[in-house]
Each structure stands twice: as structure tokens, then as C-alpha cells.
Amino acid sequence: IAMALRCFRHLPPLLYRSSFIMTWRLPQAPTGCPALLLDGCRQCVHQVLLTRQLATKKDKGKGQSQAKVNITPALVEDIINLEETNEDMQAVIEALKEDFSRNLSVRTSPGALDHIIVVTKDGKFPLNQLAQIFQKSPQLMIVNMANFPESTAAATKAIRESGMNLNPEVDGTIIRVPVPKVTREHRESLAKLAKQSTNKSKEALRKVRSKSINQIKKSKNKVSEDTIWLLEKQIQQMADSAAAEMDKLLAAKTKELLG
């Protein structure tokens, strides 16, 4: 016990003053600390994190901003993989960026048609795997279905229902796709699609958050309620940050589309 008490002397006294808790960085355990044998230092670090958050919560009513929870992944690796949760959230953001780039452009180009999904009797395929796509003129794109003529009708339907304001015309295995004029109505339609895509991405983000929180709650019999609370708080902050980034992407895309 005496040795453990000597180890705790290495902690700065200022840790216990709420005015300094907000700027404190976690110290490493002193060499030879016997608490390491019982994983005690990990528990000490958790307790300080908890003290930091609770102190912040109390000060919130005094006009002070709430500190951001930041739990080291190594401390909770046996409960949840926070890095994996963050990667899943970032994947949702990247998918939204890709959707904006491929499908929401004022100027329709052959590349915009590449990834339209065509439903056939053999499954679902991107249009560029079934057809040759090229631009004959600024006002006309050609989709050549000669390699898969049986999928011509399905491809035509997919183009028409793509949400890109396209009205394809079929001539045998050739699908002619007139490029719509860039009207104000068309711009506003694309902006609405951008908003819908963002909402879908936020729903996917909420699913990632809920999945992670449910995983944490499965450990409620193994860890303290304070640990559960801290983890849920950090995951919520991660989700809020991702949602804010999506809002920025939407604002930039809307500005681009509306001109």
C-alpha cells in the first residue's frame, strides 16, 4: 500500500482543482508502479477521465463550454473498437461525396451514366458493364447495348428512373440520351436530390451510431455506468462531427448546383 501511495505522488496536485482539469494531459504511470500488476493505472486514468467530464458537466451551467470527451481506444478495446466506429462513419461520408460527384452535376456527361444500376434477370449491374457509353455531341449521349441486347429495355428504364432528368430514346440496341438544358428548374431538382442523398447518409450514420451504442450496452454488467456514459458521449460526438461535415458538403454542393 505504501508503494502505491508513493506512485500517486507523481500526479500533479493541480489535477484535483477543477480549473486545471480541463487542460490536464494524462500522465504515464511511474516506472515500477505496483498498480501496473493489477492494471490499476488504467483504472486511475479512467477515474480521472470521469472526474474531468463530471466537473465539466457541473460547470456547464456557469456558462463554460462543455469539453470534448476523448477516451483512449486502448482503455476500452475490450468493450468496443472506437477506431472501427470512426472508420464506419467516415465511410458514410465518403459514399456521400462519391454520390455527389457521380450523380449530381449540372452538366451531364458519359461518366455520369457509368454507375446507373441496371436490374436484369441475371442480377444488378452498373450500366458501363453492359454498354458502351460515349458522347456524340454536347446535346446527345449514346448508349450502345450491342453486347447485351436483351438488357436494352432494362437499361432504358434505369436511365429514365435515375433521377437525372433524362429521357432516353431507343433505336434497336442503341439508346440515345438527349442532354437536358441547364434550366433553373433542373438546378433546383438536383439540389433537392442532394438534400435527399444527405438525409439518407445521415440515416446510415445513425445506424452506425446505434450499432456501436448497442455494443457498449452489452458490457454494462462488466464495466461501470460511468464508463458506459462516457463511451456513449464520445460516440455521439463522433456522429455529430460526421453529420456536421455532411452539412458542409451539402451546402457546398447546393451552392454549386444553384449557381
The string of DSSP letters for 201-245 reads HHHHHHHHHHHHHHHHHTTTTTS-HHHHHHHHHHHHHHHHHHHHH
In a domain, 60, yes or no: no
Say whether both 209 and 83 belong to one domain. yes
By CB atoms closer than 10 A (0-12, 13-18, 19+), residue 216 is buried
Among 128, 145, 178, the domain-final residue is 178
In a domain, 153, yes or no: yes
Q: C-alpha grid cell for residue 113?
A: 451514366
Among 156, 178, 200, the domain-final residue is 178
What's the mean per-residue pLDDT of the chain? 77
In a domain, 154, yes or no: yes
Residue 245 has pLDDT above 50, yes or no: yes
Say whether both 228 and 127 belong to one domain. no
In a domain, 66, yes or no: no
Tens digit of each residue's pLDDT (9 = 90 or more) over 108-128:
666 778 888 999 999 999 999
Say whether both 203 and 86 belong to one domain. yes
Among 178, 200, 217, the domain-final residue is 178
Say whether both 100 and 188 belong to one domain. yes
> Is 73 or 14 the better-scoring residue by pLDDT?
73
In a domain, 31, yes or no: no
175 DSSP β-pair partners: 143, 170
Say whether both 235 and 204 belong to one domain. yes
For the chain, helix (H) and strand (E) counts, in that order, are: 9, 6
pLDDT classification of 6: cutoffs 50, 70, 90: low
pLDDT at 209: 96
Contact 34, 18 (CB under 8 A): no
Give the span between the Cα atoms of 51 and 119, in whole angstroms: 56
Q: Which domain holds residue 166?
A: 110-178
Number of domains in the chain: 2
Say whether both 174 and 198 belong to one domain. no
φ, ψ (nearest 5 deg) of residue 48: -70, -40
CA-nearest of 148, 147, 140, 149 to 113 is 140
How large is the average pLDDT for residues 55-74?
53
Say whether both 153 and 250 belong to one domain. no
CA-nearest of 231, 198, 244, 178 to 72 is 231
Decide: pTM greater than 0.75.
no
pLDDT at 227: 85
pLDDT classification of 190: cutoffs 50, 70, 90: confident
Residue 179 has pLDDT above 60, yes or no: yes
How large is the average pLDDT for residues 55-59?
45
